[in-house]
């Protein structure tokens, strides 16, 4: 009798395949997207909505406020958003110009902001985005005083959730003529951005940098500080000490256009504990909601937004989800007024992926024209149709958010609070600092854990 093949738990097929690949090529795997493994998330929480002790708001009759003000403390022109959902920084280079423009149009249509990325600001995205956050990254590629002065906010990027402690990466196949010119780099050569800023390292020097940016923008616009979620309580307090008007915390599920797989899967903490720790740090400083908190990393639904707000965020940012709304991982292109959508499944297969599993942003061979600099591929994304999808998605997220907030009896989505939530797993209860459902038990509460 032949025995049933016996797979190894330590060396399952996927691990064996990965070792074979590493042993063939002699370097780490690079890919796009965020962590693919399961981590405790907002899915592990549920809302205690109204019943007899509390009463819900009527959905179609009683107003609920979603207005979100960022940087009201110090800036002359705080960023006033109609919804607490913003588009995260993604570079022109990593994304096509068409994708950036579509995101800008969609954000403008719903009254929220979008964000530049490594490589500078394109005229198209400035024009398409009514509210544009200008990133200041370690590489300073394409970072100019002229663009700084037309920004609606400035975001100093210390790190991001997909690769806290690492720099940006843009492989040569995406460094086309325009990208190379904006970054003053040679065409077609892999670009590795710096991991540290050239002119400051710690919070003491960051303070000087923030003062400088504030002066350069005449104190008009808020200064954000964005970080990947690692030692969150300390990092948030230091960002505030350095003068941040808004702190952006990006959890380990946060995406990227390209980085080492080992970075994506094995660094940082999930967004769930990150938001709680960040809010606690701001409360400790007595600046919670005076310095606003934006949370990102794996936000997909209005439920995620509501839970992030309940745990103390003022707003969330979406990156990967916005790309998916554009059409990422769809089997067809958008089509346009002249031609119908085209099935591009074969192009996914050629990348070693399928529609629904693709993370090959780094290759520049995006089958749906989003993460590419190839004119033929970029032409597959119709800006008008793609932006309408993102607009629809942002409106849907907002409706889901207000549905839950109304059911919790809130007339303002920012009145959601941790006490509205319970956890479905012991891990999530400990990480979010809310009771396990059906109990009053918050694992770790009072243990003085950071």
Partner 1 sequence: MCGIAGLLITDPDQRPQLGALLAPIFEAMTPRGPDSAGLALYGDGVEVHKQVGPATKLTADMALADRGGTCGIAHTRMATESAVTTEGCHPFMAGDDVGLVHNGSFSNYATVRRDLAATGVSFDSDNDSEVCCRLLAEQLAAGAGLAEALGSVPDRMDGFYTLLVATPSEMAILRDPAGCKPAVVAEGSGWVAVASEYHALSELPGIDEAHVFEPAPLEVHTWRA
Number of separate helices (H) and strands (E) present in the chain: 15, 16
Q: How far is the CB of 51 from partner 1 (least distance, A)?
A: 10
- d(CA 225, CA 232) in angstroms, rounded, equals 13
Q: Which is nearer to partner 1, 58 or 215 (CB)?
A: 58
Which residues lie below 8 Å from residue 418, measured CB to CB, with a gap of 6+? 276, 310, 311, 312, 432, 433, 434
Considering the complex, state which of residue 57 and residue 69 has its C-beta at the smaller distance from partner 1: 57
CB of 412 to partner 1, least distance (A): 6
Question: Would you say 55 or 60 has its CB closer to partner 1?
Answer: 55
Measured from the CB of residue 63, what is the shortest distance to partner 1 in angstroms?
A: 8
Angle at 323 between CA 387 and CA 100, to 5 degrees: 55
Q: Check: CB of residue 399 under 8 Å from CB of residue 302.
A: yes
| Least CB distance to partner 1 at residue 397 (A) | 22
Q: Is 58 exposed, middle or buried (0-12, 13-18, 19+ CB in 10 A)?
A: exposed
By beta-carbon proximity to partner 1, the closer residue of 64 and 324 is: 64
DSSP state of 35: -
**List of residues contacting partner 1 (CB under 8 A):** 50, 52-55, 57-58, 62, 283, 286, 408-412, 415, 417-419
- Between 205 and 419, CB nearer to partner 1: 419
- At its nearest, how many Å lie between partner 1 and the CB of residue 237? 15
Measured CA to CA in angstroms, residue 340 lies from 232, 334, 368 at distances of 47, 8, 14
Distance of CA 324 to the CA centre of its chain: 13
Query: For partner 1, which is the closer residue by CB, 52 or 146?
Result: 52
Q: What angle do CA 68, 73, 75 make, to 5 degrees?
A: 90
CB of 391 within 8 A of CB of 385? no
Minimum Å gap between C-beta 229 and partner 1 is 23
Q: What would you report as the CA-atom Rg of the chain, rounded to the nearest whole angstrom? A: 22
- CB 62 → partner 1: shortest distance, Å? 6
Question: Phi then psi for 17, rounded to 5 degrees?
Answer: -65, -40
Torsion of CA 204, 207, 212, 218, to 10 degrees: -170
Question: Judged by CB, which is closer to partner 1: 380, or 410?
Answer: 410
In the complex, minimum distance from the CB of residue 52 to partner 1, in angstroms, rounded to a whole number: 7
Contact 250, 228 (CB under 8 A): yes
Smallest gap from residue 311 Cβ to partner 1 (A): 12
Shortest distance in whole angstroms from residue 398 CB to partner 1: 19
Q: What angle do CA 297, 299, 302 make, to 5 degrees?
A: 160
The pairing of strands 259-260 and 30-31 is antiparallel
Cβ burial, residue 374 (10 Å; 0-12/13-18/19+): middle
Q: Which residues pair with 69 in a beta bridge?
A: 80
Closer residue to partner 1 in complex, CB, 36/283 = 283
Q: How far is the CB of 58 from partner 1 (least distance, A)?
A: 8
| CA–CA dist 362, 372 (Å, integer) | 9
- Give burial (CB, 10 Å; 0-12/13-18/19+) of 405: buried
C-beta closer to partner 1: residue 163 or 410: 410
Q: Which is nearer to partner 1, 360 or 410 (CB)?
A: 410
Residue 20 or residue 283: which is nearer to partner 1 going by CB? 283
Half-sphere exposure of residue 141: CA atoms within 13 angstroms, side-chain side: 27
């Amino acid at each position: 009798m032949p025995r049933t093949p016996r797979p190894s738990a330590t060396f399952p097929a996927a691990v064996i395949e990965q070792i074979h690949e590493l042993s063939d090529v002699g370097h780490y795997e690079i890919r796009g997207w965020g962590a693919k493994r399961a981590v405790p998330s907002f899915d592990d929480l549920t809302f205690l909505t109204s019943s007899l002790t509390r009463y819900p708001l009527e959905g179609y009759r009683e107003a609920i406020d979603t207005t979100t003000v960022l940087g009201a403390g110090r800036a002359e022109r705080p960023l006033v958003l109609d919804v607490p959902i913003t588009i995260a920084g993604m570079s022109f280079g990593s994304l096509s110009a068409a994708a950036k423009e579509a995101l800008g149009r969609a954000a403008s249509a719903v009254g929220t902001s979008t964000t530049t990325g490594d490589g500078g600001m394109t005229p198209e995205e400035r024009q398409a985005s009514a509210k544009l956050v200008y990133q200041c990254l370690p590489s300073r590629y394409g970072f100019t005083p002229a663009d700084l002065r037309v920004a609606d906010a400035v975001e100093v990027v210390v790190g991001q959730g997909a690769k806290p402690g690492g720099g940006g990466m843009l492989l040569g196949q995406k460094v086309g003529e325009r990208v190379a010119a904006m970054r003053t780099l040679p065409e077609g050569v892999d670009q590795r951005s710096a991991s540290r800023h050239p002119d400051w390292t710690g919070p003491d020097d960051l303070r000087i940098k923030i003062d400088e940016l504030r002066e350069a923008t005449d104190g008009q616009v808020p200064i954000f500080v964005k970080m990947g979620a690692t030692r969150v309580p300390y990092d948030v307090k230091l960002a505030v000490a350095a003068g941040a008007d808004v702190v952006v915390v990006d959890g380990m599920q946060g995406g990227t256009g390209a980085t080492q797989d080992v970075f994506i899967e094995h660094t940082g903490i999930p967004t769930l504990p990150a938001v709680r720790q960040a809010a606690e740090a701001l409360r400790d400083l007595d600046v919670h909601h005076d310095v606003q908190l934006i949370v990102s990393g794996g936000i997909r639904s209005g439920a995620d937004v509501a839970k992030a707000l309940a745990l103390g965020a003022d707003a969330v940012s979406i990156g990967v989800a916005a790309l998916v709304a554009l059409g990422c991982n769809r089997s067809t292109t958008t089509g346009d007024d002249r031609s119908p959508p085209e099935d591009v499944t074969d192009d996914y297969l050629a990348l070693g992926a399928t529609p629904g599993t693709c993370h090959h942003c780094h290759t520049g061979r995006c089958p749906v024209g989003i993460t590419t600099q190839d004119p033929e591929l970029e032409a597959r994304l119709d800006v008008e149709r793609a932006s309408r999808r993102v607009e629809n998605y942002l409106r849907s997220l907002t409706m889901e958010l207000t549905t839950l907030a109304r059911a919790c009896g809130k007339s303002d989505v920012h009145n959601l609070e941790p006490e509205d939530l319970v956890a479905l797993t012991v891990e999530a209860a400990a990480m979010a600092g809310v009771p396990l459902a059906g109990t009053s038990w918050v694992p770790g509460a009072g243990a003085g854990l950071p």
